[in-house]
């Protein structure tokens, strides 16, 4: 099966399965999205959703958040893990937004990635979901599925992002990355070797696990 045929089959199948792609994190603005995504690094969104109601009640925006003590933030986000690191990042980030960005979340990769706790993946999610700029946030789900489908060599996420952007139409990126994540969780999880039960792997690829 050619790569172009795979891409076509994948996009068609995902569109059938997930015609609407509700964003997993409950956010209404760039700031709460950014903080939610920052928190979700190294955890599941189930964990994140457990603490965000409280967190955003006390710190709904950069200004309010910056006023909270690091310890206060730490207490709220305790269940998420890495609380000291993350609470410091959230406070510092909020202060930087106020000092340098007029209290608003900047809309460029460079500026986003300059913020503490924000790497390329988090920046990509914010650019895609908050600002509608085409991006392809590659997390381990994307990485794993692209590899299993034989669409990337599985070496690193940087390569995977390049391959994804090269293979999939730009206008689909922002929707597709969410669809792939949903699909990965539901049908093609990291430790499942049962490719017969995975409707996409069964057709387009049978590669084994990454690593």
C-beta closer to DNA: residue 57 or 78: 78
Residue 121 known to be catalytic: yes
Work out how close the CB of 8 gets to DNA at its nearest, in angstroms, rounded to a whole number.
26
C-beta closer to DNA: residue 26 or 75: 75
8 Å CB contact between 112 and 35? no
Angle between helices 45-58 and 30-40 (to 10 degrees): 140
Q: Which of 86, 91, 121, 163 is catalytic?
A: 121
8 Å CB contact between 89 and 42? no
Residue 162 known to be catalytic: no
Work out how close the CB of 153 gets to DNA at its nearest, in angstroms, rounded to a whole number.
14
At CA 74, angle to CA 44 and CA 118, rounded to 5?
55
How far is residue 25's CA from residue 45's CA, in Å, rounded to a whole number?
A: 7
C-beta closer to DNA: residue 16 or 183: 183
Work out how close the CB of 192 gets to DNA at its nearest, in angstroms, rounded to a whole number.
11
Ramachandran region of residue 180, left (φ > 0), alpha (ψ -120 to 50) or beta?
Answer: alpha
How far is residue 146's CA from residue 173's CA, in Å, rounded to a whole number?
A: 14
Instruction: Collect all residues with Cβ–Cβ distance below 8 Å to 78 and sequence separation of at least 6.
Output: 51
C-beta closer to DNA: residue 61 or 87: 87
Chain-centroid distance of CA 63 in Å reads 25
Work out how close the CB of 116 gets to DNA at its nearest, in angstroms, rounded to a whole number.
5
85: tokens are 């690191």
Using CB under 7 A as the criterion, which residues of the chain lie in contact with DNA when the complex forms? 41-44, 47, 78-79, 81-85, 89, 113, 115-123, 139-141, 190-191
Q: Which of 6, 86, 91, 139 is catalytic?
A: 139
> What are the catalytic residues?
121, 139
């Amino acid at each position: 099966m050619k790569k172009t045929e795979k891409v076509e089959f994948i996009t068609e199948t995902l569109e059938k399965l997930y015609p609407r792609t509700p964003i997993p994190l409950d956010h209404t603005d760039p700031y709460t999205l950014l903080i939610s995504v920052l928190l979700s690094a190294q955890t599941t969104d189930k964990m994140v959703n457990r603490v965000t109601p409280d967190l955003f009640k006390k710190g709904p925006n950069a200004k309010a958040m910056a006023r909270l003590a690091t310890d206060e933030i730490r207490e709220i986000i305790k269940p998420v893990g890495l609380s000291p690191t993350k609470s410091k990042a959230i406070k510092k980030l909020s202060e930087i937004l106020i000092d340098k960005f007029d209290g608003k979340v900047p809309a460029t990769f460079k500026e986003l990635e300059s913020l503490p706790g924000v790497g390329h993946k988090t920046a990509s999610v914010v650019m895609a979901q908050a600002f509608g700029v085409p991006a392809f946030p590659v997390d381990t789900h994307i990485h794993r599925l692209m590899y299993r489908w034989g669409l990337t060599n599985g070496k690193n996420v940087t390569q995977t992002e390049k391959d994804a952007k090269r293979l999939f139409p730009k206008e689909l990126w922002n929707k597709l990355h969410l669809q792939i994540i949903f699909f990965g969780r539901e049908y093609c999880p990291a430790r499942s070797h049962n490719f017969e039960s995975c409707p996409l792997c069964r057709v387009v690829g049978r590669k084994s696990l990454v690593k």
